[in-house]
């Protein structure tokens, strides 16, 4: 079910594991590029054609947008207990993201120099909500909450529909609960292109956020620059670092929780305890039998699941930093003593009572996280991602005169005499 690797076999597994990054991206980019160009050129007409081809949905220009009445009805019909859970989750996640709202600031220096920064919320953002194998209202909340906290003026949501043109009713109810009014039943790479370029029905946005499958990720990568994107994410990942104190049943449950997302999802355990490794193997097999998504689980664990038997905690931490997992669980006797050594992880879960599921739905930090090793340079989706920043610079006559020679010298060193002239002309003509 899940293989155990030790010594040299660990490196062989990691080489194969890391190779999927290039393979999965390169295989689809040419196809996605064609779809992007088609949506750019034909707009709604292309969206309708791809909905028919990929989803079996017979859309019309008039049915691309989900009417407000449909969202309101889904909200009214939603299970009241579930709706309360959704409402509380929105509150938790919004409160967390409000804590990191960036500020504008101005420094008035004594010599007539004024320097500062303006933090400006984006005008319009597009949020992608996956469909496919499952519905993800949690991802909608995670994308929307920081945008709302940031004060974004307009939020546009896209999500695929079924052949019956229906959008998942829990997603509809969640959109309504969030106060979002613009929702379109479009999915896949074509939805990303529609947001980036705009169509007759879907407005062009400044930035796109939200997770999706490999085609969505490829579209975001190719369209970066046409608009902003949050990150280029791949399949979901969890890596658990554990010692002999860990509870095998808890570790196995965390591995299985991640593996059920997608056949390409990865679930890794790194431990220096062989007895724990063997116990987790048994637990994975036992728990698997009682779960519903067994076909996905078996494929994911066979291809991208592994138990890596390290030589000690130092090697375990080194492997975690090297792999830069989306989710990192620290099932250790003293996880807080290790936290400062972790350099690359999207979200870190400390202790046996902090399952990754808590982060997915409830705690507050975002579950839209860097994957495929991109935690080396990407961060979780944040409130700051929905801001742009402008620098503010003001020099008085006296201040410019005081620094003019140095500024001009720097410009001339680069061979840019017109730059120097823009300073010296002011000083020479002063008075």
Distance (Å, rounded) from C-alpha 111 to C-alpha 113? Answer: 6
Question: Has 326 been annotated as catalytic?
Answer: yes
Q: Among candidates 383, 351, 350, 354, which has minimal Cα distance to 366?
A: 383
> Quick check: helix, strand or coil at residue 105?
strand
Structural tokens at position 140: 């909608």
Q: Among candidates 32, 428, 403, which has minimal Cα distance to 216?
A: 32
Question: Which of the residues 75, 97, 327, 331 is marked catalytic?
Answer: 327
Structural tokens at position 236: 């979901």
Q: Among candidates 356, 349, 320, which has minimal Cα distance to 335?
A: 349
Distance (Å, rounded) from C-alpha 385 to C-alpha 388? Answer: 8
Distance (Å, rounded) from C-alpha 237 to C-alpha 264? Answer: 9
Question: Which of the residues 326, 331, 356, 367 is marked catalytic?
Answer: 326
Helix (H) or strand (E) holding 155: strand 154-158
DSSP β-bridge partners for residue 108: 114
Residues 419, 425, 428, 431, Cα dihedral to 10°: -130
Q: At what angle do helices 169-178 and 68-77 cross, to 10 degrees?
A: 100
Q: Among candidates 356, 310, 311, 350, which has minimal Cα distance to 333?
A: 350
In the chain, helix, strand, coil percent, each to 5?
50, 15, 35
From the number of C-beta atoms within 10 Å of its C-beta (0-12, 13-18, 19+), residue 34 rates as exposed
Number of neighbours of residue 230 by Cβ within 10 angstroms: 26
Question: Has 419 been annotated as catalytic?
Answer: no
- Residues recognised as catalytic: 326-327
């Amino acid at each position: 079910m899940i293989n155990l690797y030790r010594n040299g076999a660990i490196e062989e597994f990691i080489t194969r594991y890391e190779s999927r990054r290039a393979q999965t991206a390169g295989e689809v980019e040419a196809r996605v590029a064609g779809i992007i160009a088609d949506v750019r050129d034909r707009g709604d007409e292309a969206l309708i054609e791809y909905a028919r081809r990929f989803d079996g949905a017979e859309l019309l220009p008039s049915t691309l947008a989900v009417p407000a009445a449909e969202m309101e009805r889904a909200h009214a019909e939603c299970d009241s207990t579930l709706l309360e859970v959704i409402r509380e989750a929105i509150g938790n996640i919004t409160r967390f993201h409000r804590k990191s709202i960036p500020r504008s600031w101005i420094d008035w220096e004594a010599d007539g120099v004024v320097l500062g920064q303006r933090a400006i919320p984006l005008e319009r953002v597009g949020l992608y909500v996956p469909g496919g194998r499952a519905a993800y209202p949690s991802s909608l909340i995670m994308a929307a909450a920081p945008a709302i906290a940031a004060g974004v003026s307009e939020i546009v949501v896209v999500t695929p529909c079924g052949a019956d043109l229906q959008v998942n009713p829990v997603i509809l109810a969640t959109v309504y609960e969030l106060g979002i009014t613009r929702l379109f039943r479009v999915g896949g790479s074509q939805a990303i292109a529609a947001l980036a370029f705009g169509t007759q029905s879907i407005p062009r946005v400044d930035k796109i956020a939200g997770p999706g499958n490999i085609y969505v990720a490829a579209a975001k990568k190719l369209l970066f620059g046409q608009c902003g994107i949050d990150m280029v994410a791949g399949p979901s990942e969890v890596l658990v670092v554990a010692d002999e104190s860990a509870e095998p049943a808890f570790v196995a449950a965390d591995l299985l929780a991640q593996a059920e997302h997608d056949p390409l999802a990865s679930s890794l355990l790194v431990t220096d305890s062989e007895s724990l490794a063997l116990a987790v193997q048994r637990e994975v097999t036992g728990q698997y039998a009682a779960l519903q998504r067994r076909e996905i689980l078996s494929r994911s664990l066979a291809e991208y699941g592994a138990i890596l038997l390290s030589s000690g905690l130092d090697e375990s931490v080194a492997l975690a930093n090297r792999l830069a997992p989306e989710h990192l669980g620290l099932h250790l006797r003293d996880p807080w003593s290790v936290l400062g050594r972790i350099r690359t992880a999207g979200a870190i879960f400390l202790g046996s009572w902090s399952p990754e599921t808590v982060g997915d739905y409830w705690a507050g930090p975002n579950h839209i996280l860097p994957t495929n090793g991109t935690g080396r340079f990407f961060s979780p989706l944040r409130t700051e991602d929905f801001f742009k920043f402008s620098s503010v610079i003001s020099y008085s006559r006296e201040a410019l005169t005081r620094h003019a020679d140095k500024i001009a010298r720097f410009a001339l060193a680069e061979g840019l005499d017109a730059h120097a002239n823009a300073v010296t002309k002011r000083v020479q003509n002063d008075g």
